A and B are shown apart, each in its own frame.
Chain A
Amino acid sequence: MNLPAASFGLFGEAFEFVFSGREAETGGVTVGGTSQVLDLAARQLEVTLLALAVAVLLALPAGLLLGHYGRGEFLAVSAGNAGRAIPELALIALMAAAVGVGMFNLVVALAILGIPPILTNTFVGIRQVDRSSVEAARGMGMTERKIITRVELPLAVPTIMGGVRTAAINIIATATIAPLAGILTLGDFIIARNVYGDAGVLAGAVLVALMALALEAALAGAQWAMTSRGMKLKRS
């Protein structure tokens, strides 16, 4: 690819960095280029989705049960508040320094960031379900399990998905600093400026932003697909 890089300024260089690669600041080797970009992007997506899945698997059932039985309101609600206060950088750094680098530890650390918003929103979403709908379901002879999965869960989808989306944004953003924990994601372009140069930094920033927006759009789409028709009508 032969683009007039200079005319785009730094953006042009970043473009070149992504599609054809540039010489490393440290000299010698070529860095960037589609294959490295795809590699790091795939890794970032992988870590993000893994951590999100772990967070959902842990927080969703907990939130459903707490919400259904109306227990642990203080815990469920303060989790969300406390979660926001965790400094992402300190969490990843401490995990890497005290527990060790590597995929498993990273996923655990990222999942910790994802759990609070999902837990809180699931709890709140379930509690917000009209109690008369639940009573009606019980009156029709549904088991508690069925009440949770057939009545409460569908009605709480928008709120729960709000929590999942918050978690996802937080996780993918933090996955950008995963190179600190030894897992190379797109954030490597940003963090290792002395290797990739400003072109690499800008390219990394653009790629991370696009990836986060794409994930958010996908989750918004998933939420739309999961929301029952009756509730969409009610909202419009």
Chain B
Amino acid sequence: MSKRYPGAEAFAVEELDFEVPAGEICVLVGPSGCGKTTALRMVNRTVEMTSGDISIGGNSIREGDPAQLRREIGYVIQQIGLFPHRTIAENIGTVPTLLNWEKDRVRARSAELLELIGLDPEYGDRYPSQLSGGQQQRVGVARALAADPPVMLMDEPFGAIDPINRSRLQNEFLRLQAELRKTVLFVTHDVDEAIKMGDRVAVLKKGGRLAQFASPTGLLMEPADDFVEDFVGADRALKRLALMRVRDVDLWTAPLAQAGDPCEPVRTAVAAAEVPHALLVDNESRPLGWLSRRDLAGESVPENADSTADPLIDADSVLRDGLATLLQSGSLYAPVVDPRGRLTGVLSVEIVSDFLSSREASESELSAAERPHD
């Protein structure tokens, strides 16, 4: 579809055409003023298209009443736009009330959503001015989710918050999405956010033209042209690390020992292993510490190791964060543990550099990108 604002020479959005599979997050990304908001707003007809068509689930949005359409599409606007004169609970309950839900049901739904976005129930009676910017953005998302619309439009929903909370909200939203499986159109001008949030990414250039429509990996591996390459940035190799989880790469193994084991076999194993140090683990295979040569000099493995096992890396974290932890601690190796704290392998800097240069890795990445986020 296309859009030219009245009185404007150029198109704000020109011949934009792509398809978003149900249940996926599609991110629209591009420089400021390239027409992202305009494209998004055409979907709920807060901006009418000049030409073309948009269909949702096979039905053209041109048919029917725009207000009706909008109630079936969640919308989070760039500037949040909470109603200052209504409590948080009333804000969240706006669309259900429009849809004539019973009062009790609206109240229950508001409470449910407050919990979903991680706000205390008591916040329901507050007014927007009494919330922090980040809390307001969450309420904005909750308000859009209230009537459980299958489709969500999100215009830089996490734009107005500091990087730390932003990353928290992104994770929270991905967690929600794994459960809710909405079809989401998500606008941002931040490539990192696009890569993190998107199942698919549409890169727009000025005038709302589509520069590339691809999976995040596709975008990083094979930028369609100079504009995309430039926009994605010179560090796109590093960005790829944000796409992989630690558990998805081939981790190294270290020799394991429990307290009281004889030292001799452990010494032999250390000499032959990928990781030249042995890990002391408990009987649930939770790492307790790294055993030094002195620890292993005696008859049997001691109760306490010379150095701790820290830092431990969460197998679910992305490779980029794993590498950062490793570099920050100054160690060459770090044990990787599952959510219950059990050892699944050892991460080393070498693994990461091998991964970045291997051809095979990019294929596994591609398949990883097809998998839903969780």
A–B: direct contact at CB < 8 Å: no
